[in-house]
Amino acid sequence: MLFSMESLKKPLRPIFYDTETTGIKADRERIVELAAYDPVLDRTFEMLINPGIPIPKEATDVHKITDAMVADKPSFAAVAEEFVTFCGDDTVLIAHNNDAFDVHFMKAEFSRNNLSWPSWIFFDTLKWARRYRPDIPKHSLQFLREIYGIAANNAHRALDDVKVLYEVFCCMVDDLTIEEAMRLLNQPRIVNNMPFGKHQGKLLKDLPKDYVQWLDKSGALDKEDNKHLKQALVDLGVL
């Protein structure tokens, strides 16, 4: 097991978490399920949440959570205190696609309910997979599960995904501590070649100027995952 009671002596304690929502826009949609796993104390948190708005069919088709299932469930405001207590302080919350999805929904819900935002830090396993497993064609949680030979689960229900995430994380970082993994994920990334698109693999300095300008105007370079690419293009004077 990657984490043990000994980990409590370290400054960061990992909590793996996941959200299921009514849609993909954090400013308009709501969380309908919140789940987490604490591998240090080997305990789980799982709660269905009444979002206060209808759950669209396309969302239910993904996570199978219906309006009827959440009709008598507590609001996010009622759940938040229990979740904060579960996570505690000096905690790193770990989620797959956290930086583009889960953390935005969490912050939106805390803000919407006038709740104080805890002093958590976050780790995005999707970013780790993209950075340190470029040898595989996809980096979704379920594809990584298959790559590492982890048993299938009830995909897209929060607690099931959290349990798979924990196993995937352990495989990806091996014997690194959470502090070491955080340092590796956050260190500057050197980008010399175009990582995607029709010019994938080409040296950045050799990219057509009109292509770079198009990427910039389209907003592609403003995505979180492309910030290192944009900086490299700026440093080279290509952008």
| Interior/surface letters 119-153, b for 16+ CB within 10 angstroms, e for the rest | ebebbbbbbbbeeeeeeeeebebbebbebeebeeb
Residue 210 CA to residue 10 CA, distance in Å, equals: 50
| CA atoms of 11 and 91, how far apart (whole Å) | 8
Taking CB atoms within 8 Å and a gap of at least 24, the contacts of 157-160 are: 157/20, 157/33, 157/35, 157/63, 157/64, 157/65, 158/18, 158/19, 158/20, 158/33, 158/34, 158/35, 158/46, 158/63, 159/18, 159/35, 159/37, 159/44, 159/46
Q: Which two tokens stand for residue 191?
A: 């980008």
Which residues are catalytic, by number?
156
What's phi and psi for 52, nearest 5 deg?
80, 0
